[in-house]
Chain A
Amino acid sequence: DGGITQSPKYLFRKEGQNVTLSCEQNLNHDAMYWYRQDPGQGLRLIYYSQIVNDFQKGDIAEGYSVSREKKESFPLTVTSAQKNPTAFYLCASSRDRGYGTEAFFGQGTRLTVV
Chain B
Amino acid sequence: DQQVKQNSPSLSVQEGRISILNCDYTNSMFDYFLWYKKYPAEGPTFLISISSIKDKNEDGRFTVFLNKSAKHLSLHIVPSQPGDSAVYFCAASPNRGGTALIFGKGTTLSVSS
Residues on A close to B: CB < 8 A?
A: 4, 6, 33, 35, 40-45, 48, 50, 56, 58, 88, 90, 92, 97-108, 110
Contacts and interface: CB of A to CB of B under 8 A. Distances in A.
Contacts of A100: 32, 49, 51, 93
Secondary structure of the B side of the interface? loop
A42 B41 CA distance: 13
A101 B9 CA distance: 27
Chain B: interface residue count, which band? 20 to 34
Contacts of A56: 99
Contacts of B93: 99-101
Secondary structure of the A side of the interface? strand
B105 A108 contact: no
Leading 5 A-B pairs by shortest Cβ distance: A105-B43, A42-B105, A43-B103, A48-B100, A102-B46
Nearest to B98: A97
Contact of A42 (B31, B97, B100, B104): B104
Nearest to A41: B105
A104 B105 contact: no
A110 to B, nearest CB: 7
6 contacts: A42-B104, A43-B103, A48-B99, A99-B93, A99-B97, A108-B42
Given A97-B98, A97-B99, A99-B97, A104 B46 contact: yes
Contacts of A6: 43
